[in-house]
Structure 1
């Protein structure tokens, strides 16, 4: 419920603060007095785009602040999700700076326009003639029926499953496309893989093979030199080992005379041990040496295979070839696994189709069960609004596929006159008829859901007399369950309000200002009399105004 509105430096308004009460409020004023300014300010609170030209003084910022009582709207979760402080008395503030920048706050926490617009949808509904055109939209008609049929839980489950179905279908299509592409490459990939597998590659193998080729190719030279090394070491009289041992024997005779000699003896002893180990390994290596042309040919062939694979795959290491082998194995295996994944997805899609058909059928049945009584409720109200012969029904058509809200296509069919065939309301209803049907729908919805504050902006256009009184009675009854405002030019409607606000303009110096004030009972009599007879108020107009108010 809208409790108060404060406007500073906006359009023709310099500084305005006004309090509102619940029930049914009337706003009147001459054309151009500033009713559109009031709606524009409220639109900014709802998240409409700001316009720098709307500043009255373009050197000062514009501030619009609205206070709402929101305890009835179950908005705690919304505030939590948007990281806002929840207050039952919530203040929305919108600022337009002279620079053109705009800022918005909810309970002093900054918010972006999308958040403000979403919150505004829960709090305030400015219903203009333009919005009446929403009635002809199929989405509006379907949402209306869903609200009354209480299908929200089923629809939520349906939408979750529909999203999952579309995702599964997308994945299946992608899998089928990938499989088709991979199958085309399968034979070539399998050939490349087989070639690599048969090569029996191992990490570090290239260096080992290249070294082995060098050794096998030079076995005679290696044998000759190893034999020479072993020979000169083991010669009995002049061999290196014999001479080293003689040197050791000499050091051992003098090592007690100096620490230096003792250290040299230890070092020489270490050299003899290391040298004996070298000779031993050389002897072992010499024993293992053999001329093996077959092995040399095999290693050379293996190296040629590796070099050829390097060139084919444009790499320069065995490790790269092993990675390519691993990738090819994955591709070949993937083709083999595709059918398993495809079958799994097809089964999942089949199950989702069954579930969605069941949910759609349940939703459709709830809609069809409620549609006749809803049509009757709307028809009863529009009958009192000057259309006693009007007929109205919800017609159902089954979709061939899953729509975003089920498998129903809804058409609100209408006839204003006796004996006329019912046709889609968008084709046969006039503007005035649409306004009355929309008012009836809003009145019915007020019985089913806690609606936001509603402002009817000249919904009474094109009607007068008794019909205007009936429209006022409908709006007044709506105000038993919600806060209702009516901007009107009709005295019959103005007289029905619980409180009456007047918008007016006045000049001060060379400047025009717009103002709004709450009328006293005497002021209301004068205002309604003026609406009846114009500026020159007659006694009969005053009497008529009093009768309307009573």
Structure 2
């Protein structure tokens, strides 16, 4: 509940500290006294856009602060999610400055307006005559029906499934678009992959193959040069023979000088190395490269294709082509995986649709069952509000198409008089009738759920006499289960309140201020009498005021 409201430098209110209690509180005051200022201050706490013109003349900023008694457990998730210290007495503050800045706080923690709005909308509901237009909104009608029919939890279950199905369907569409694009590119990708796979990049070493082809292409010259080396090494009188002679000389030297032994060994090592070279070259010369022309041709073709693909794909070496091949193979794998993903998602979507049909059917059935009882209760409430011939009925039809409320199509039908065929309420009811219909609905809703603190702004506009008396009794009854405020100009409505505040203007020098003060029992009698008879209050008005307050 709202425990305290502190308003400073806001429009004509210099400072007002208002302490509130539970049950029904009425706020009265002459036209133009500033009752709307109080509501505008509350609207700031509900996160509405700030109008910087409302800043008063006593400083550079206006402040609206409210203290709420809350159930900490109920709001524990909110406090944890927004890193706010939970307090049973939670303080909400809004500040606006002449420089165009606006700040919001919950328990002195700065918060964004969206966070403030999320919090305070669960605590305060302001209902003006304008808000009766809510009755003309289809979503409001269905929300109201679900609250009164005790189907709200089932509707939330359906709404959750509905959002899940929408998200899954959206994901399916996104994945299908990806698959379509992959399919469009698939033929070309497969062609490129086939070209790369034909190279045998995993088994072939193309730098080595290039060296092999170079030997093929220079086989004659290689043969000639090899023969020249072999001859220079092994022919009679060639290098090896000369080294053998040198070795013999070193051997004789070694017999008389140890250094000669070392020289002999080193010459012997050179001879061995040169003989190995001669042997290897001889074996190599024995293999005829020219005789394998078919292999040379296939090697040429393979390397031509390799170099063409290097140029085509702008790669510098074999590793680049292998990376591209792996990427194309992965793309092919992704295509198959994407098909499997879409199949799984389609199965999930089918299951969700099945659940949606089941829950929607149950939801519609329960709504239909509850309608007649709800209509009877509304009828009783409207009769108490002096609308005995008014009829309000819920016409439900089941549709194939779903929305977040199920597949029930609802028309709220209204007839103000006997013999008049009911039509949709948005086409029939007057403002005064809508106000009373809304009040009747609010009464039934208050019996079903714990509503936040409610402010009724002149909900009694357009009525008087016995109707006003009935509205006063109804507000008093609603106040027994919730904190309720009503701004009213009718004595019958004001007299039924448990608490009473009066708004009035007070002159101070050349300035005028709005003052809001609680009234004592005697002051209440006087105020109600004033509402009945105007500024001239006589004993009859006093007596009538006392009678109304019983």
TM (norm. structure 1) is 0.89
- Provide the residue aligned with 2:353 in structure 1: 353
Between stretches 76-85 and 405-414, larger displacement belongs to 76-85
Q: CA–CA distance in 2 between the matches of 1:268 and 1:16?
A: 117
Q: Contact 1:204/1:318 (CA < 8 Å) preserved in 2?
A: no
Q: Evaluate the alpha carbon distance shift between residue 544 and residue 210 of structure 1 in structure 2; reply closer, same or farther with a 3 A threshold.
A: same
Q: Distance in 2 between matches of 1:270 and 1:379?
A: 123
**Which residue number in structure 2 is paired with residue 98 of structure 1?**
98
CA contact (8 A) 1:73 1:122 kept: no
Query: Is the 2:127–2:455 Cα contact (8 Å) retained in structure 1?
Result: yes
Partner Cα separation in structure 1 for residue 527 and residue 268 of structure 2: 127
For the pair 1:78 / 2:78, whether they are aligned, the reply is yes
Q: Which residue of 2 aligns with 1:117?
A: 117
Q: Residue 392 of structure 1 contacts residue 412 of structure 1 at CA under 8 Å; is this kept in 2?
A: yes
* Superposition deviation, residue 295 in structure 1: 2.2
Question: How many residues of Structure 1 are paired with residues of Structure 2 in the alignment?
Answer: 547
- The separation in 1 between residues aligned to 2:255 and 2:479, in whole angstroms, is 126
* Aligned-partner Cα distance in 2 for 1:235–1:36: 124
Q: 1:290 corresponds to which residue?
A: 289
CA drift of 1:233 comes to 4.6
Counterparts in 2 of 1:441 and 1:251: CA distance versus 1, 3 Å:
farther
User: Is the contact between residue 202 and residue 318 of structure 1 (CA under 8 Å) also seen in structure 2?
Assistant: no
Aligned to 1:33: 33
Q: Does 1:389 align with 2:386?
A: no
The CA deviation at 1:394 is: 1.0
Give me the whole-angstrom Cα distance separating, in 2, the residues matched to 1:19 and 1:129.
Answer: 26
Runs (5+) with no aligned partner, structure 1? none
How far has the Cα of 1:151 moved from its partner?
2.9
Partners of 1:268 and 1:541 in 2: how far apart?
144
Residue of structure 1 equivalent to 2:497? 497
Q: Is the 8 A contact 2:233 2:274 kept in 1?
A: no
Cα 1:44–1:328 shift into 2, 3 Å: same
Residue 550 of structure 2 is aligned to residue 546 of structure 1: no
1:144–1:251: structure 2 CA closer, same or farther, 3 Å change rule?
farther
Contact 1:399–1:408 (Cα < 8 Å) also in 2: yes
CA distance 1:272–1:377, shift in 2 (3 Å): farther
Matched, 1:440 2:447: no
Pair 1:158-2:158 in alignment? yes
Deviation at 1:271, TM superposition (A): 7.7
Structure 1 residue 19: Cα displacement:
0.5
**8 Å Cα contact 2:397/2:408 also seen in 1:** yes
Match of 1:423 in 2: 423
Instruction: Please name the residue that 2:207 is paired with.
Output: 207
Name which of structure 1's ranges 415-424 and 216-225 shifts more when overlaid on structure 2: 216-225
Q: CA deviation at 1:239?
A: 2.7
SS at structure 2 position matched to 1:87: coil
In structure 2, the residue corresponding to 1:31 is in which secondary structure?
coil
Q: RMSD of aligned C-alpha atoms?
A: 3.2
Which deviations, in whole Å up to 9, do the C-alpha atoms of 1:349-374 show, x marking residues without a partner? 32222111001111112222222212
Alpha-carbon deviation of 1:530?
1.4
Deviations 1:50-82 (A, max 9, x none): 222211137422222100011288222222222
Could you say which residue in structure 2 is the equivalent of 1:506?
A: 506
Query: What's the CA shift string for 1:120-144, capped at 9, x where partnerless?
Result: 1110011111111111111111111
- Asked whether the equivalents of residues 250 and 263 of structure 2 are also in contact (C-alpha less than 8 Å), the reply is no
Verify the 8 A CA contact 1:473 1:496 in the aligned structure 2: yes
Q: Which residue of 2 aligns with 1:222?
A: 222
1:133 maps to which residue? 133
TM-score normalised by structure 2 residue count: 0.89
